[in-house]
Structure 1
Amino acid sequence: MRRVSIGILSLLILLSGCVSDQENFQIIFERDVENIEKYIGENAIPSVKEFNDPALGIWIFWQETSGGGIKPELGDTLTVNYTGKLLNNSVFDTSHEDVARENNIFDPNRTYEPIQFVSGYSQVIAGFEFALFQMEQGDKATVLFPSLYGYGPAQQPGIPSNSPLIFELELVKINGIQEEEVIDE
């Protein structure tokens, strides 16, 4: 009987190893999308404009639109205020000192100000950058996306592995080609 149990256990371990990474990612993605949709159903997110790409599982809700028409392009330097949260609404990071203090994540050794990065060069996680490419300078929006576009299976401080994320974003400024072309004219 013991040999049969060991044999069955060995077979289960062997078969579980046969599930491809792609199948695992698909299962995690589907779970993330379900959790995001549940969150949206249970938490009213005020918006004046919405975007949803079901194939990507990404939702964007604009709280403010600038109407200025200036959108990021590849290579632009973006200046962004943000607050990152999990689906349980716990804040894990922010560029706002008051939000950090309110959520007990304040770090006195850190400077709280908008971040700057060059767009299109993977300097921020994919879901964060995807949302910014949908926005215009001056827009404020909330984006929700599956863990695939965040940190995936990699655990981060305050972020468990495979966590769908929420970011409240304000695209403060775009410095780049568009601005230089206006100055040269």
Structure 2
Amino acid sequence: MNLQRVSIFFFLVLSIAFVSCDAQNPFDRGPVYDVAGNLERDSLLIADYLDTADIDSLYRIHDPSGVVIIVQEEGTASRPNGGNVIYTNYTGSLMSDGSVFDTNIENVARDNNIYVETRNYNIFSFQLGSGNVIQGWDIAFRRLRSGAKAKLIIPSPYGYRDSETNDKIPANSILIFDVEFKGMD
């Protein structure tokens, strides 16, 4: 009986060892994204950018996450909570070279050669905290009052990380969004 238990135990150990060495192991997800390392790198780049950029602002919010919110026009309504639907106009650009990669404003899209004829250029809406937008937006919009205009500087871990699915956004890009917080439900 003990020999049978030892045999079963030995068989299980070998099976686990064999599966973990298999190149087709479904639990092997590759290298882990280095959030802390990228935040450290991005914070230095953002600090250099802010030292030299000529940005009109009422005030700046340096969120503990590393997201920077530069309020250019104060809103008069309240701040949103998780679950509120946010309505905004936006233009997204790369901090590295200022190139515009996305907008919901038709003339801005045309001026930057990113216009898509089949796209609907209306006010953009999303539910705060639902995961439908990049994490940096959820962080930043919680700090703005409805009616505000602001510039959001979003470190790569709160943007698109190391994704290479959009040819206009290189991996680990720091993003800048000019937003006009139109209202919320």
TM-score, normalised with respect to structure 1:
0.78
Moved more, 111-120 or 91-100: 111-120
Specify the SS of the correspondent of 1:134: coil
The answer on 1:167 being equivalent to 2:163 is no
Specify the SS of the correspondent of 1:63: strand
* Unaligned 5+ runs, structure 1: 1-19, 176-185
Q: Which residue of 1 aligns with 2:21?
A: none
Q: Which residue of 2 aligns with 1:15?
A: none
Question: Which structure has the larger Rg?
Answer: 2
Selected match of 2:55 from 35, 38, 45: 45
Shift of 1:38: 1.5
Selected match of 2:123 from 114, 122, 129: 114
Q: Which residue of 2 aligns with 1:149?
A: 158
- String of CA shifts for 1:89-137, please: whole Å, max 9, x gaps: 1100001111111111111111111111111111100101211111111
Selected match of 1:72 from 73, 76, 80: 80
Provide the aligned C-alpha RMSD in A.
1.5
Moved more, 40-49 or 133-142: 40-49
Q: Which residue of 2 aligns with 1:98?
A: 107
Selected match of 1:84 from 81, 89, 92: 92
Task: List structure 1 segments (4+ residues) > 4 angstroms apart after TM superposition.
Answer: none
Specify the SS of the correspondent of 1:46: coil
Specify the SS of the correspondent of 2:117: coil
* Unaligned 5+ runs, structure 2: 1-30
Give the conservation status (yes or no) of the 8 Å contact 2:75–2:144: no
Specify the SS of the correspondent of 2:115: coil
Q: How many residues align?
A: 153
What percentage of residue pairs aligned between the two structures are identical?
36
For 1:154, the aligned partner's letter is S
TM-score, normalised with respect to structure 2:
0.78
* Greater percentage in helix: 1
Shift of 1:71: 1.4
Distance in 2 of aligned mates of 1:21 and 1:74: 28
